[in-house]
Amino acid sequence: MSSTRPTSQAVRIADVARAAGVSVGTVSKALNGTGSLREETRRHVQETARRLGFVADARARGLVSGRTYTVGFVTTDSFGRFLLPILRGAEDALAVGQMAVILADTRDDPAREQHLLRSLRARHVDGLLVTGRSTDPREPLTVDMPVVHAFSPSTDPAGYAVLSDEEEAAVLAVRHLLSLGRERILHLTGPARHRSAQLRARAVERAAGERLTGAVQHGEWSEEWGRRAIDLALASGTAFNAVCAGSDQIARGAVDRLRELDHDVPGEVAVTGIDDWDVIALAARPQLTSVDLCLGEIGRRAGQMLLDLIEGREVAEPRVVVAPRLQVRGSTV
């Protein structure tokens, strides 16, 4: 019995055509998603190609479609805290369209960013994903290709973006503390100049109301600030039985300092964070209750949105907000 699988190592498009009983042109249309073919024909060709182990040549595919099947991923997050989970999610979605990602780290340098954008345009990338290490809005990029912002918004309200719901994240943390009977909540957060700190603080104030003890304490996004803020609160005589921190780093610093001063966590003081950064939250003792901003889902939906724009599909919602999730651990229960 003869086999339809070619004996040569590399399966050619002509081999697929011969095995499927169609023309080379039909195979090209079926595999590239172009042209007017009956769905059963398209499926038959695609199944034949999979069975034979056919791998499309990216250069040839680009010549046919006028695309490079690459996207640029522009970021200012050199540290990678937000970049990595967003990138993983985006790659999961883009892989469906056989898209490769070129990472471009601007390092918050406008001149470097312009150089990288010129390089990406020279490579004829099909679109751009833009993210950063904060949710402070940035000016939109002036480029002649689809652009989607992930986590870090654009100042253009009509721009395509997938964002986190930071206010809801803070509300979830406060509601959790209130559900545990904590009636004196201290809010420690990052710099007042940062949009994230402002949004989260306003949400905490609304959700906690009179249960918020003292004024919101602004500092840095660091464990050191969490430790120092606890010292300042205790020295001032502020009574509190819960700390709603604006980030996991601040929360972990607060937990460490409370335990050093022999305050039981969560017995005397329950502590929550925001971000659900596993490196911080799971290494804390006890582990931190935190609110997951679902960065991977933000990346996945941003990647899908960019893929839709590149392939000419309609995007129903140009601005998507991903709901956060509360992760309850030992710092509160």
pLDDT of residue 81: 78
pLDDT of residue 6: 45
Provide the percentage of residues in the chain whose pLDDT is more than 70: 93
Which single residue is written with the structure tokens 């939906």? 301
Average pLDDT in the chain: 90
Its sign, for the CA torsion 24, 25, 28, 31, is negative
Q: What SS3 class is residue 322? A: strand
Among the ranges given (137-141, 144-148, 322-326), the one the predictor scored with the smallest mean pLDDT: 137-141
Displacement of CA 146 from its chain's centroid (Å) = 18
pLDDT digits (tens, 9 = 90+) for 143-160: 999 999 999 999 998 899
In angstroms, the CA 212 to CA 196 distance is 19
Tell me the mean pLDDT in the region 70-93: 89
- Total residue length of the chain: 333
pLDDT of residue 260: 97
| More confidently predicted of 58 and 328 | 328
pLDDT of residue 65: 52
Tell me the mean pLDDT in the region 51-77: 74
Q: Does the pLDDT of residue 71 top 50, yes or no?
A: yes
Tell me the mean pLDDT in the region 83-92: 92
Q: Does the pLDDT of residue 108 top 90, yes or no?
A: no
Tell me the mean pLDDT in the region 208-213: 96
Q: Does the pLDDT of residue 311 top 80, yes or no?
A: yes
pLDDT of residue 57: 60
Q: Does the pLDDT of residue 243 top 90, yes or no?
A: yes
Helices (H), the chain: 13-20, 24-32, 39-52, 58-65, 83-96, 110-122, 166-179, 195-208, 223-235, 248-260, 278-281, 295-310
Which amino acid, one-letter code, is at 242? A
- Residue of 79, 24, 74 lying closest to 49 (CA atoms): 24
Using alpha carbons only, give the angle 90, 95, 100 rounded to the nearest 5 degrees.
Answer: 85
DSSP characters over 11-29: PPHHHHHHHHTS-HHHHHH
Cβ neighbours of residue 198 closer than 8 Å, sequence gap 6 or more: 192
For residue 32, how many C-alpha atoms fall within 13 Å in the half-sphere facing its CB?
24
Phi, psi dihedrals of residue 181, rounded to the nearest 5°: 85, 15
pLDDT of residue 1: 39
Tell me the mean pLDDT in the region 215-234: 97
Q: How confident is the model at residue 77 (pLDDT cuts 50, 70, 90)?
A: confident
Q: Does the pLDDT of residue 35 top 70, yes or no?
A: no
- Residue of 230, 219, 217, 223 lying closest to 187 (CA atoms): 217
Q: How confident is the model at residue 34 (pLDDT cuts 50, 70, 90)?
A: low
pLDDT digits (tens, 9 = 90+) for 265-292: 999 999 999 999 999 999 999 999 999 9
pLDDT of residue 63: 47
Q: How confident is the model at residue 3 (pLDDT cuts 50, 70, 90)?
A: very low
Inter-residue contact 308 to 126 (CB < 8 Å) = no
Q: Does the pLDDT of residue 74 top 60, yes or no?
A: yes
Q: Does the pLDDT of residue 62 top 90, yes or no?
A: no
In angstroms, the CA 272 to CA 281 distance is 10
pLDDT of residue 61: 55
DSSP characters over 12-81: PHHHHHHHHTS-HHHHHHHHHT-S---HHHHHHHHHHHHHHT----HHHHHHHHT--SEEEEEE--TT-T
Which single residue is written with the structure tokens 């339809």? 4
